[in-house]
Amino acid sequence: MEKLEQIFAFINEKAEHYEQTNNLTYLESVLNTLEDVLDHKNEWAGEGASKEEIRKAIQLAILKGMRKASQPNHQMTPDTLGLLVGYFVEQFFEEKLKDSPISILDPAVGTGNLLITVMNMLDGKTFATGIEVDETLIRLAADTAELTQQPIMLYHQDALQKMLVDPVDAVVCDLPVGYYPNEEVALDYELCASEGMSYAHHLFIEQSLNYAKEGAYLFFLVPSNLFESEQSKDLHKYLKKHAWIQAVIQLPDGIFANKVLEKSILILQKQSKDLRAPREVLLAKVPNMSNKQALAAFFDKVQVWKEEK
Domains 2-68 and 79-308 share a fold: no
pLDDT band of 288, cuts 50, 70, 90:
confident
DSSP secondary structure, 136-172, as one string: HHHHHHHHHHHHTT--EEEEES-TTS------EEEEE
**What are the distances in angstroms from CA 119 to CA 34, 101, 204?**
20, 11, 21
- Does 308 have pLDDT greater than 60? yes
> Regarding predicted confidence, which is higher, 108 or 255?
108
Q: Tell me, what's the pLDDT at 253?
A: 77
- Does 256 have pLDDT greater than 90? no
> What percentage of the chain carries pLDDT values higher than 90?
85
Least confident of 147-151, 235-239, 242-246, 258-262: 258-262
**CATH code matching the domain that covers 2-68, chosen among 1.10.599, 1.10.3470, 1.10.1740, 1.10.150:** 1.10.150
> What percentage of the chain carries pLDDT values higher than 70?
98
9-61 confidence digits (pLDDT tens): 999 999 999 999 998 999 999 999 999 999 999 889 999 999 999 999 999 99
> Regarding predicted confidence, which is higher, 256 or 241?
241
Backbone φ, ψ for residue 177 (5° rounding): -105, 135
Report the chain's mean pLDDT, rounded to a whole number: 93
234-252 confidence digits (pLDDT tens): 999 999 999 999 999 999 8
- Does 73 have pLDDT greater than 70? no
Q: What is the pTM of this model?
A: 0.95
Cβ contacts of 249 within 8 Å, gap of 6 or more: 84, 88, 264, 265, 266, 267, 282, 284, 285, 286
Task: Pick the closest to residue 113 from 166, 55, 60 (CA basis).
Answer: 55
153-198 confidence digits (pLDDT tens): 999 999 999 999 999 999 999 999 999 999 999 999 999 999 999 9
SS (H, E, C) 33-69: HHHHHHCCCCCCCCCCCCHHHHHHHHHHHHHHHHHHC
Cβ contacts of 7 within 8 Å, gap of 6 or more: 45, 46, 49, 53, 54, 57, 58
Q: Where are the domains of the chain?
A: 2-68, 79-308
Q: Tell me, what's the pLDDT at 72?
A: 57
> Regarding predicted confidence, which is higher, 86 or 230?
86
Q: Average the pLDDT over 301-306 and give the result.
A: 94
Q: What is the second-level CATH architecture of the domain 79-308?
A: 3-Layer(aba) Sandwich (3.40)
- The DSSP secondary-structure symbol of 132 reads E
